[in-house]
Chain A
């Protein structure tokens, strides 16, 4: 028996590779990339991107063999008929004002948005199941996504990949601003990588360093892409991104010179053998007039120049597959040295950034204010603003005011009729700016949040203030979180904009360009798409004193019992005058005497 099994296995082993070899070459590929960007503030941002592309129709074909593409996610796509999935887990806040425009920002906490195929009948049910499954995969509290924090944006979140129709009823979007991200979320994310954290760039992903930063954001993006230039068939793309910002003051002990080892306490020793491409890019663009504010060691063999986010950038490129860069005998430890320290200068301000806060004081009402800054000296551009506010802040929509430069800025003044949602980011900005758009979906208590989407034209060199007043609702006592005095989170506003470029970008080959440049589809060379998030807000609600329910119950019961009884008595009883009984012992004695005398008693 045992021999038979052994022979059977041997046959299988022989047949297996042979069968594979006869089929077409592996249809999936991995590209990995690390971009190191010294930030204007002196900090350093590192962005990892791992892209697995799979030339397979996950939806149509029954797929059982997974090679590079993680099976957990592949099955998810076919089971829930997903068209796109975007999940990000973020700890910290990308400070656009000081760090510049990010490649890909994510809101603090957890963000999940998904497009479903048009074959899905019950989108809400699929969405609920999807969030629960993802919650298990990523060890995150995504199961807290329910109807009270899910919205269906009409304009802000368009599919990033291939899409035929954009019927937004198949889109769901939710943010959990309270989610805390830690190593327990990083480990399952790393496990999805083909090389895990054994080789290639992923050896740098050491949790104790990644969580020793100012900003940590990890994300998973799944979308369908064109398989070839003519787009005759569809491939699936999984992008795993991880961005961290190292703080010069904390991590570098005040020194602003960086090296891979200083950042990650690791150096690069070998490429991932499964990777088709494995590169490190270092931003060596000089900002000032004089050349070379930054020096990189070892000197790069090649450089790459392109227009990234509207400005011309130069990158030093290190190809890990090149034996001259990394070999068995040498490891790669890229070092950055500032020739002229960037400190004590106001950093260059990005064209678009935003700030959000709660104004007012007291626990009854308040105001949500969002400041949108357009620092472009002469170009106005439109911004699509999305606000999702929990139901317990009752928005007064009539108080919605938008002011730019002291004048009211009506979002829909150009078209009185509700215009069709401008399909961002695929369409041209002229189309957007020609018409206004505003969409408001009121909240239902304990059912759904407020959704407010507006297309706002930001005048050149201006600050636009969007404010709306709200009233704080009184929750039921079981609806308070375990630490109610901490406050309640309001998820960040989302800004989607086509920001004018300083330098026109050349349309290049999308598949060949570096990963950090191919995240959002570019349709126009004169502007670039940016999605920014504001900070989440913490709002205090009127909170009862939970620490003394016993006292309160006792006091209330006593007061009700005592006061009710006696007041009821007093109010309903009729009083009659009664002859008071006179005297005590003495009177009784006197009466005795009187009786003896024969006199009537008293």
Chain B
């Protein structure tokens, strides 16, 4: 802050902003991009770690083995679905009840804002089916959700099968402390949103739905499952939700833990975890993952049914089974075990997931970039706007405030040479001002320069800058004129008084050359004052004074050259 209270330094800073605005903007932008890309590299990405104590160790033994049951349930589901052409609600209810769940249905309908061309529909109506596993000796205050969104085509049957098989397995266990809701929604996200709105008894999207008959308290976490084949090669995890919202990082860590434990191949944004961080391939791949994630978040739309849960403060993610051409495939048991492990761990939770990060970027499944590290990149990009705004504001400030200040200063403060001499009135006037100005001659110079300053519209008081400006500007004519008046003594003779004039000796020399020609003197400006100045005592006393004057000039030249002359364009405050 000392920087701002010191006018000189503030001025220097302002000068920097104004003069180097464009380069600074470019630099900041480039730095932002570079920082962002650098996020994918190990020093900036950290290994993920489980923050939540309740889920800390992986001392859970998964016992799910009902892969056959899952497959047969999936086949049944497909058959019933094909037969009825919609979600086989009755079959689902029957099956869920037979495994010991409390079963409820919810019908909903929503007018689409514009007709759906591909399915030729304007009004969407469907039925969600959900079964609640009541935890023994618990009062239904907390729950977990496993949801399978079913679209219009017959995908996701295996997910339904696996969910039902898991429900049957879970029902026989004694360790549940939270209720578990098994939810099958129709019409993908529409059904999910309808169910969520009905569960929380709100209406956000104008959905018409029947009220829910069964509830299970506050939902702590949710997992959406998408599986369309009996075997999978990998599991893709999707975290980006509505408006780019993300679930707590611990939920992802949990998934990753069970991926590792079960030896599952898990991907993020469809990309495997880079194995080799030392070569360039690993970071490159993580850059791609990172960029894809940012892109998905920027789209703002939920990339899975889990995305809608996040609005209701339910941590959620989507697991998507991928069946590609890889050799090694996993069956439903492996996926079921991972889910079982996750649910058992979530069941341990004492509090809502809150320990870990809510804002993060993922260059790989096991690496993350915390908000503290990725915000500088965004900061650099935003700095460009700030710089531009600052520039505009300063220009506005110059134009608006300048004249008032200019009007005040000459009267109150000692006279100063015109700052803009070089630019506005030419080298001559600048020269004159400089020569005549200074502490020695208060009255005249002030009077002389007043209109000039008004004209320039800039505040005065930049003796410093004036010097520099003048110097640069003057040097050329001086160089031109010096050879003409090479004969020093002779040039001195007519205008004995001239060289003395300047407060600064450096200007004396070129000034001398110019002033030697009477016709070139400024119209009624410097002339008079020149005359009043005392003569240079050592003027005619041999080469020594000349040498001294030359030396003096050279020294000052060095001094001034160190400061760049265009700085004088700046207002002085």
Interface residues of A (CB under 8 A from B): 91-93, 95, 98, 108-109, 177, 211-216, 247-250, 253-254, 343-344, 355, 357-363, 367, 369, 483-487, 489, 535-540, 543, 547, 562, 565-567, 569-570, 573, 575, 577, 579-580, 582-584, 586-587, 589-590, 593-594, 596-600, 602
B444 at the interface (CB under 8 A from A): no
- A486's partner among B100, B311, B350, B503 (CB-CB below 8 A) is B350
Give 13 pairs: A residue, B residue, CB < 8 Å, sorted on A. A92-B136, A212-B174, A213-B136, A215-B136, A216-B137, A249-B171, A359-B201, A536-B141, A537-B141, A540-B352, A562-B1, A587-B555, A590-B552
Identify the closest chain B residue to A43 (Cβ).
B100
B79 at the interface (CB under 8 A from A): no
Query: What is the minimal beta-carbon distance from B545 to any residue of chain A, in angstroms?
Result: 6
Question: Could you tell me if A587 and B201 are in contact, using CB atoms closer than 8 angstroms?
Answer: no
CA distance A247 to B101 in the complex (A): 12
Given A344-B97, A359-B200, decide whether A547 and B355 contact each other with a Cβ distance below 8 A: yes
Chain A residues positioned under 8 Å from B461 (CB to CB):
577
6 residue pairs, one from A and one from B, having the closest CB atoms: A566-B1, A359-B201, A108-B139, A485-B351, A538-B141, A92-B137
B57 at the interface (CB under 8 A from A): no
Question: Could you tell me if A590 and B505 are in contact, using CB atoms closer than 8 angstroms?
Answer: yes
CA distance A389 to B498 in the complex (A): 97
Given A483-B350, A538-B217, A567-B1, decide whether A361 and B538 contact each other with a Cβ distance below 8 A: no
Which of A250, A590, A596, A602 has the most C-beta atoms of chain B within 10 angstroms of its own C-beta? A590
Chain B residues positioned under 8 Å from A211 (CB to CB):
137
Question: Could you tell me if A360 and B352 are in contact, using CB atoms closer than 8 angstroms?
Answer: no
B537 at the interface (CB under 8 A from A): yes
Chain A residues positioned under 8 Å from B572 (CB to CB):
577
**Of the 9-residue stretches B3-11, B15-23, B230-238, B449-457, which lies at the interface with chain A?**
B3-11
- A249's partner among B1, B7, B100 (CB-CB below 8 A) is B100
Per-residue 0/1 for B537-563: is the Cβ within 8 Å of any A Cβ (1 yes, 0 no)?
Answer: 110000001001101100110110000
Identify the closest chain A residue to B141 (Cβ).
A538
CA distance A579 to B213 in the complex (A): 83
CA distance A93 to B179 in the complex (A): 12
Identify the closest chain B residue to A569 (Cβ).
B5
Chain A residues positioned under 8 Å from B94 (CB to CB):
344
Question: Could you tell me if B218 and A358 are in contact, using CB atoms closer than 8 angstroms?
Answer: yes
Given A358-B218, A485-B354, A538-B218, decide whether A570 and B505 contact each other with a Cβ distance below 8 A: no
Question: Could you tell me if B202 and A593 are in contact, using CB atoms closer than 8 angstroms?
Answer: no
CA distance A109 to B140 in the complex (A): 12
Question: Could you tell me if B139 and A92 are in contact, using CB atoms closer than 8 angstroms?
Answer: yes
CA distance A295 to B171 in the complex (A): 27
Chain A residues positioned under 8 Å from B173 (CB to CB):
250
B413 at the interface (CB under 8 A from A): yes
Question: Could you tell me if A598 and B504 are in contact, using CB atoms closer than 8 angstroms?
Answer: no
Main secondary structure of the interface of B (DSSP, over half): loop
Per-residue 0/1 for B78-115: is the Cβ within 8 Å of any A Cβ (1 yes, 0 no)?
Answer: 00000000000000001001101010000000000000
- A250's partner among B2, B136, B142, B555 (CB-CB below 8 A) is B136
Query: What is the minimal beta-carbon distance from A486 to any residue of chain B, in angstroms?
Result: 4
Interface residues of B (CB under 8 A from A): 1-2, 4-5, 7-8, 94, 97-98, 100, 102, 134, 136-142, 171-174, 200-202, 213-215, 217-218, 311-313, 350-352, 354-355, 413, 440, 461, 463-464, 503-505, 536-538, 545, 548-549, 551-552, 555-556, 558-559, 572-573
CA distance A570 to B142 in the complex (A): 54
Question: Could you tell me if A355 and B138 are in contact, using CB atoms closer than 8 angstroms?
Answer: no
Query: What is the minimal beta-carbon distance from B560 to any residue of chain A, in angstroms?
Result: 9
Question: Could you tell me if A540 and B201 are in contact, using CB atoms closer than 8 angstroms?
Answer: no
Question: Could you tell me if B141 and A489 are in contact, using CB atoms closer than 8 angstroms?
Answer: yes
Question: Could you tell me if B555 and A590 are in contact, using CB atoms closer than 8 angstroms?
Answer: yes
Question: Could you tell me if B102 and A98 are in contact, using CB atoms closer than 8 angstroms?
Answer: yes
Question: Could you tell me if B137 and A254 are in contact, using CB atoms closer than 8 angstroms?
Answer: no
Chain B residues positioned under 8 Å from A602 (CB to CB):
503-505
Query: What is the minimal beta-carbon distance from A588 to any residue of chain B, in angstroms?
Result: 10
Chain B residues positioned under 8 Å from A584 (CB to CB):
559
Chain A residues positioned under 8 Å from B551 (CB to CB):
593
Query: What is the minimal beta-carbon distance from B331 to any residue of chain A, in angstroms?
Result: 25
Apart from A565-B1, A577-B7, A594-B552, what 8 extra A-B contacts exist at CB < 8 Å? A93-B140, A211-B137, A483-B351, A487-B352, A575-B7, A587-B559, A590-B552, A602-B503
CA distance A484 to B200 in the complex (A): 22
Query: What is the minimal beta-carbon distance from B98 to any residue of chain A, in angstroms?
Result: 6
- B559's partner among A247, A583, A593 (CB-CB below 8 A) is A583
Query: What is the minimal beta-carbon distance from A156 to any residue of chain B, in angstroms?
Result: 20
Question: Could you tell me if A367 and B201 are in contact, using CB atoms closer than 8 angstroms?
Answer: yes
CA distance A582 to B560 in the complex (A): 10
Chain A residues positioned under 8 Å from B215 (CB to CB):
355, 357
Chain A residues positioned under 8 Å from B313 (CB to CB):
361-363, 540
Question: Could you tell me if B548 and A593 are in contact, using CB atoms closer than 8 angstroms?
Answer: yes
Identify the closest chain A residue to B544 (Cβ).
A597
CA distance A598 to B545 in the complex (A): 10
